[in-house]
A and B are shown apart, each in its own frame.
Chain A
Amino acid sequence: MILLTVLVATLVIAVCLPVLGQRVLERRIVFVDLALAQVAATGYALGMAIDVPGVFAAAATTATAVIFMAMMDEETPLPKEAVMGGVYVFAASVGMVLLSLLPYGEGQLMGLLFGSVLGIDWQGIGELALFSGIGLALALPNHANSFSGRIRFYTGLSLIIVPAIYAIGVLLVFAYLVMPALSVWRRGHNGPAWEALTLAAIASIVGTFAADLLDLPPSATVVLTLAVIAVITGTIIHFNNLGPEEAEAPDNEKEEKVEEKPEGILGSEQTK
């Protein structure tokens, strides 16, 4: 019974997150999900400190962060990852200071940041799908590199990511956002979305059943399965693309090497 909700929940994110991940990857803002989740959690703690319902406070701080991020031009000379990292540590530190002042804050903030796929029920899955649907509708269509365009994109992004992390945890969200898109990434650009989506869905099914069979924690097992499938797919795609195109455009060789780097980083994250 619980196996079934876990399976469906991981399938829902397998459908929603990889496509979004491709948008995130091409903009080089991978840390945006951690930053947004942390800002929301800090907002929740702030809400408890000033006696405002946590959800509203979280929405307010997340909206502020969205406006802040949207102010940054997409062609900005600033390294965007560094800005996202900065937002993350700033929010985390504010949260820590707030928590130290709140006697009961700790558990609730942890609960907000680290949801678990085991905790989600059918209603939660419905909400997750609803938020993801609205989020994708906002974030996926091409947007102009203007303030309003970027606001739409980041709003969509936060509508998917924050509830998803709250419902099923950072580990799964981060993995499904980054790994499938990275796996089908080729020649410095995104690969076809259906490929990313398919391998994500296979990982959900295989990972969930493997965890149940082997009596292992589902989140981590699904992520590991996804990692294995992503690496295999990525390797096949990589060698398939070293064909005639390579001879035609030797300039691409440089890009190929750049492409390998993120996968290496991902690999080391997994081993941690």
Chain B
Amino acid sequence: MPQLKRGSELHLVALLLLLITLLSAAPATAKTIVVATVPALAQIAQAVGGIDIEVKSLTRVGQDPNVFAPRPGHVRLLTHADLLFSVGFGLESSWLASLIELSGNENIKPGSAGYLSGGDAIEAIGVPRGMSSQQMSEWSPDKNPYWWLDPELGIKVARALSVRLSEIDAVNSARYNHRLHLFEQAIYEALPRWRDYMQINTGAVITYHNTYVYFMQAMHIELAGFVEPRAGIEPSTRHMDNLLEVIREKHVQLIWVEPYNNRAIAKRLADAADIKMMVLPDAVDGYGTEGYVGMFDKMIERIARWSQ
């Protein structure tokens, strides 16, 4: 009899084990869900993850990630996320922390395996734009978050992403690595062409904020100044008149403005100096490598067209 009892216990254990295996196997077959904070990061994630992951972006093309107002749907997105892929360097500081908190998802908290930000992979440059002085005091003032506009930094972060994805989903590790290689290849192929194009087509440039500093470094474009050196603080008339001087001295031909910024001041400056003002995107619609490379193509094509 005791033997029989032991036999039924064994059966019970086996049944439990089977159940556990079945239950844990179910999510394993589901795709890894990656939530990116901005469209360009979603494209980098798609480039590396391809069909093995599902990617969602919190902000859309044309939205200012500094002042994003999340909705309940965004909280739900994070609840089911396996990896949160953020820009870092304070760009999302006004809204992301509370969003993570609300989602109740412990796996995507900063410091855990399900959280990757640009700050984990690269060093930042410059002064962040679009921050209030209160936010500024909370962040090191020497950090500019717009790294995705430098394709080589995009590659560096994509490498870190590939490693992280391989940790979360080891089965597809080789595939992530392969796609990363293709992503790098696509960018390195295009980079000399972009640089040549910019060298022919543009001289020194004035930008509204310092959003495009990375892009200008990557493409070897000279920065002549900012229309609004401190985000949200109206520039002085003296600063504006100084910029007119700079425009004359450096033969600046273009002022770049982000899609979500007030254009009136930049337009006034451009008109006063008889040069052109153009809106330069910091993201475009599109999938994966094609979308990310397409963003640079579009930026460069637009700059070249406006420089004529």
Which listed residue, A2, A100, A116, A211, touches B69 by the CB 8 Å rule?
Answer: A100
Quick one: which of B234, B239, B240 has the most chain A CB within 10 A? B234
Inter-chain contacts of B237 with A (CB < 8 A):
2-3, 6, 118, 208, 211-212, 218
Q: What's the nearest-Cβ distance from chain A to residue B67, in Å?
A: 8
Does A264 have its Cβ within 8 Å of any Cβ on chain B? no
Report Cα–Cα, A246/B184, bound state, in Å: 84
List the B residue with the shortest CB-CB distance to A166.
B264
| Contact of A103 with B267 at beta-carbon distance under 8 Å, contacts A110-B262, A215-B238 already known | no
Inter-chain contacts of B240 with A (CB < 8 A):
2, 118
List the B residue with the shortest CB-CB distance to A214.
B236
Cβ proximity bits A194-234 to B, threshold 8 Å, 1 near / 0 not:
00000000000000100111111111100000000000000
Beta-carbon contact of B262 and A111 below 8 Å? yes
Does A119 have its Cβ within 8 Å of any Cβ on chain B? yes
Give the total number of A-B pairs whose CB atoms are below 8 A apart: 87
Size range of the chain B interface in the assembly: 20 to 34
Beta-carbon contact of B264 and A115 below 8 Å? yes
| Contact of A107 with B259 at beta-carbon distance under 8 Å, contacts A2-B272, A216-B236, A217-B235 already known | yes
Report Cα–Cα, A255/B61, bound state, in Å: 56
Which listed residue, A5, A6, A114, touches B262 by the CB 8 Å rule?
Answer: A114
Q: What's the nearest-Cβ distance from chain B to residue A40, in Å?
A: 16
Beta-carbon contact of B264 and A111 below 8 Å? yes
Q: What's the nearest-Cβ distance from chain B to residue A119, in Å?
A: 3
| Contact of A218 with B234 at beta-carbon distance under 8 Å, contacts A2-B272, A3-B241 already known | yes
B245-272 at interface with A (beta carbon < 8 Å): 258-265, 267-269, 271-272
Does B181 have its Cβ within 8 Å of any Cβ on chain A? no
Beta-carbon contact of A219 and B271 below 8 Å? no
Inter-chain contacts of A1 with B (CB < 8 A):
241, 244, 272
| Contact of A118 with B268 at beta-carbon distance under 8 Å, contacts A107-B259, A110-B262, A217-B234 already known | yes
Query: Can you report 24 A-B residue pairs in the complex whose CB atoms are below 8 A from each other?
Result: A1-B241, A1-B244, A2-B240, A3-B237, A3-B241, A103-B61, A106-B62, A106-B64, A107-B62, A107-B259, A107-B262, A111-B263, A114-B262, A115-B262, A116-B234, A116-B262, A116-B265, A119-B262, A121-B268, A208-B237, A211-B236, A212-B238, A213-B238, A217-B233
Binding site for A on B (CB under 8 A): 60-64, 67, 69, 71, 233-241, 244, 258-265, 267-269, 271-272
Binding site for B on A (CB under 8 A): 1-3, 5-6, 96, 100, 103-104, 106-107, 110-111, 114-116, 118-121, 208, 211-220
